[in-house]
Amino acid sequence: MCSGKFFRMPTLAICGVVLTIILVCITGITLTNSINISNIVKLREKVASDSAAANGGHQAAQTRAALVEQQYSTLQQHHLSQSDLNYISASTHPKNLQRPLQHQQLPQQQPNKIVIEIGLRSANESASGSKGSGKSASGSGSGTTAGSGNMPLGMPHMLEAAEALMEGNVDSISLPAALPLVASTPTTEKSSKPNGNVNFNVNGNTNKRSSGNSPGSNSNAPTNGTGKSTELNSNGRNSTGGDMNGNNTESNSGRGNSVVMDIRDHNPGGIQFERRAHVKQMMEHAWRNYKLYAWGKNELRPLSQRPHSGSIFGSYDLGATIVDGLDTLYIMGLENEYREGRDWIERKFTLDNISAELSVFETNIRFVGGMLTLYAFTGDPLYKEKAQHVADKLLPAFQTPTGIPYALVNTKSGVAKNYGWASGGSSILSEFGTLHLEFAYLSDITGNPLYRERVQTIRQVLKEIEKPKGLYPNFLNPKTGKWGQLHMSLGALGDSYYEYLLKAWLQSGQTDEEAREMYDEAMVAIMDKMVRTSPNGLTYVSDLKFDRLEHKMDHLACFSGGLFALGAATRQNEHRDKYMEVGKGITNTCHESYIRAPTQLGPEAFRFSDAVEARALRSQEKYYILRPETFESYFVLWRLTHDQKYRDWGWEAVLALEKHCRTPHGYCGLRNVYQQEPQKDDVQQSFFLAETLKYLYLLFSDDSVLPLDEWVFNTEAHPLPIKGANQYYRQAPVTLPVSNAS
């Protein structure tokens, strides 16, 4: 219309104005894109050169070291030193226990700059994960937070972006021409309560869904002026076959009509946005670097920028970090990363045709537990199949005269055995006693009772056996059914057995009274024989060796602050107030073990004597390997009390992790928390993604994210649904008769 002999002057003027506007827009968009593109190109180049450097020359050393590392990792996970081994070992000791850790250390670098893209991706980009998006795949030094893919966009994400920009951690922010408007109509659906007398808030606040913060809290929850979140969209809380936000999508083929868990925030008033966004960014950093340097392997070595292939999982590529970390990505709404992981599991994850010697316990809590949670979240049958596949590989370990499983099983031959160092060929309480939640749930979703039967057998042995002074020793011989050495602990070798007694009861919708009774009886004995108070008033759980108290507490035992509190909050009895105080006291003591170290991170074990309190004394107990237990207790205590101090303690820990454990290529543990500038251990544990970051993220989330009366966390922080209380339980419609089950 602007050309031809018929044009007139006014028309020309209008065309000119329109053309000018179009030119300005095009220039602006091009500029914005070029800023981002140049950053992404730079980052990709860096990634490529980093990768090339990392890959050369590592292969051979990796293979040579694999076996030794696996053995070392096993011992480290159990927090066993050489002297511990001398104490408990009946015959042979593993070789190479004194193998020094590598002392490789790179200079600390500036935190990575981030490219933030706020905008909706095209359907193609969404479907193909991160490819071509500049996210994640762009690797070291780059990343995105906020609002990409199918994630809803809104004020929280804008705030994250603005914050990052102000802190100088961002190279650029690009905005779409118009942010989609999203309405807020959270539904108030609530599933039925389990029976029993749950009160998950000891302050009597029963309004879980709008917990908010305690007085004095410094939550900065943004609202849109109406008190409603701008992050919610107008769909209901649930939908069928949809994405992580409960939206219907077509990208979920294969899921059937499954109800997908909705991860949107329904009560922004209960969120500490900046803190939570920071934890999410830590997860992105950990994941991105695992993806860059160790994708499909088990764990990452951030300093060497190569896989940690000789960990407790052996040298096979089982993608432990993927399986362990995937539910955390889901909860954080990192949809593209989640899809990358799901895709890897679908295409690559199998235990067929490999001859790996796996820990029954570790494989169960991380792989079976991780898959089960993902199944509960999504209803995706892939995860149910994989969970069953892994559990089936563990079943030969249960072929013992007592039904108490061995610790290790070969995935090909089915040959099973115990650790040579474990008290005369004993099985370990915290291992065979930490299968119940996963196996019981697996039976319910598959309709195959066999898995539950296996763990019920273990339960019966432990119920009927005579318990010295009411306590459970850490070692039990699977052939004779007799206890090994009378060493009791709520730390290494004992810990999660007690946890699973309480949680089996919770998981059953408080119908498994046997489990609750066994838990209550055990805690009475533990209170009497093992819980002590230091001269300066610190509550701790001591180890007990025969009749002698060893006034030492493992970091692993720091989970018991939350355990005592959770047990107290869920049953009204004569112990309730006392146990709640003990739970708070233990959590406080673990916090003390952190803040008494210059790094503000806690040691692997700490002692109590006339001279010291909550401090490690021996060199082999001064390390910190990114463990979660203390933060787990902060999280549980926060949920139960809404005392702001737990959130503040968690934030202190985040800052300490960032200062000492973060590297340009992921997070490492520390060799000595008492040094001002401690050396790093070059391992990013899979539980850092599965547990540590998840508990910290939930600590700053509202109670409505995984409410404790609907979800129970396995010992690897994989949330499992509570029967009768959670619509995502996904019970199989038909249960096989026992005789047909195999």
Residue 660 in the binding site for ligand DMJ (CB under 6 A): no
**Please, where are the H alpha helices in 58-131?**
58-77, 82-88, 123-127
User: Is the Cβ of residue 425 or residue 494 nearer to ligand DMJ in the bound state?
Assistant: 494
What pairs with residue 543 in β-bridges?
A: 550
Cα–Cα distance measured from residue 652 to residue 633, given in angstroms and rounded to the nearest whole number = 15
CB of 159 to ligand DMJ, least distance (A): 32
CB of 396 to ligand DMJ, least distance (A): 23
Q: Give residue 454's Cα distance to chain centre.
A: 26
Residue span 443-482 as binding mask against ligand DMJ, x where in contact by CB under 6 A, dash where not: ----------------------------------------
CB of 61 to ligand DMJ, least distance (A): 26
Which residue, among 251, 32, 29, 41, has the nearest Cα to 132 in the 3D structure? 41
Backbone angles phi, psi at 699, to 5 degrees: -60, -35
Cα–Cα distance measured from residue 534 to residue 537, given in angstroms and rounded to the nearest whole number = 5
- Is residue 142 within 8 A of residue 46, CB to CB? The reply is no
CB of 496 to ligand DMJ, least distance (A): 5
Distances (CA, A) of 466 to 453, 460, 470, 520: 22, 12, 8, 16
Residue 560 in the binding site for ligand DMJ (CB under 6 A): no
- Is residue 48 within 8 A of residue 129, CB to CB? The reply is no
Tell the residue number behind the tokens 């490492």, with chain if given: 668
User: Is the Cβ of residue 663 or residue 715 nearer to ligand DMJ in the bound state?
Assistant: 715
- Is residue 387 within 8 A of residue 371, CB to CB? The reply is yes
CB of 372 to ligand DMJ, least distance (A): 15
Residue 556 in the binding site for ligand DMJ (CB under 6 A): yes
Which of residues 306, 627, 680, 694 is near ligand DMJ by CB under 6 A?
627
Enumerate residues 248-287 that contact ligand DMJ by CB under 6 A.
Answer: none
Which residue, among 27, 67, 83, 93, has the nearest Cα to 422 in the 3D structure? 93
User: Is the Cβ of residue 76 or residue 89 nearer to ligand DMJ in the bound state?
Assistant: 76
Q: What is the CA radius of gyration of the chain?
A: 26
User: Is the Cβ of residue 121 or residue 487 nearer to ligand DMJ in the bound state?
Assistant: 487
Which of residues 297, 433, 716, 722 is near ligand DMJ by CB under 6 A?
716
Query: Which residue is closest to ligand DMJ by CB?
Result: 715
Question: What six digits make up the tokens of 338?
Answer: 């989640």
Residue 687 in the binding site for ligand DMJ (CB under 6 A): yes
Beta pairing class for 357-359 and 306-308: unpaired
Determine the length of the chain: 742
User: Is the Cβ of residue 78 or residue 723 nearer to ligand DMJ in the bound state?
Assistant: 78
Residue 502 in the binding site for ligand DMJ (CB under 6 A): no
- Is residue 378 within 8 A of residue 242, CB to CB? The reply is no
- Is residue 186 within 8 A of residue 237, CB to CB? The reply is yes
604 given a catalytic annotation:
yes
CB of 562 to ligand DMJ, least distance (A): 12
User: Is the Cβ of residue 271 or residue 636 nearer to ligand DMJ in the bound state?
Assistant: 636
CA-CA-CA-CA torsion for 347, 352, 358, 359, nearest 10 degrees? Answer: 70
CB of 324 to ligand DMJ, least distance (A): 9
Which of residues 568, 715, 722, 723 is near ligand DMJ by CB under 6 A?
715
| Catalytic annotation, pick one of 362, 438, 604, 613 | 604
Which residue, among 151, 134, 122, has the nearest Cα to 331 in the 3D structure? 151
| H or E element at residue 651 | helix 644-656
What is residue 300's three-state secondary structure? strand
Which of residues 219, 336, 496, 633 is near ligand DMJ by CB under 6 A?
496
Enumerate residues 691-710 that contact ligand DMJ by CB under 6 A.
Answer: 691
User: Is the Cβ of residue 649 or residue 687 nearer to ligand DMJ in the bound state?
Assistant: 687
User: Is the Cβ of residue 542 or residue 715 nearer to ligand DMJ in the bound state?
Assistant: 715
Under rule CB under 6 A, how many of the chain's residues touch ligand DMJ? 8
CB of 554 to ligand DMJ, least distance (A): 10
Q: Which residues are catalytic?
A: 604
| Interface ranges with ligand DMJ (CB under 6 A) | 496, 556, 627-628, 687, 691, 715-716
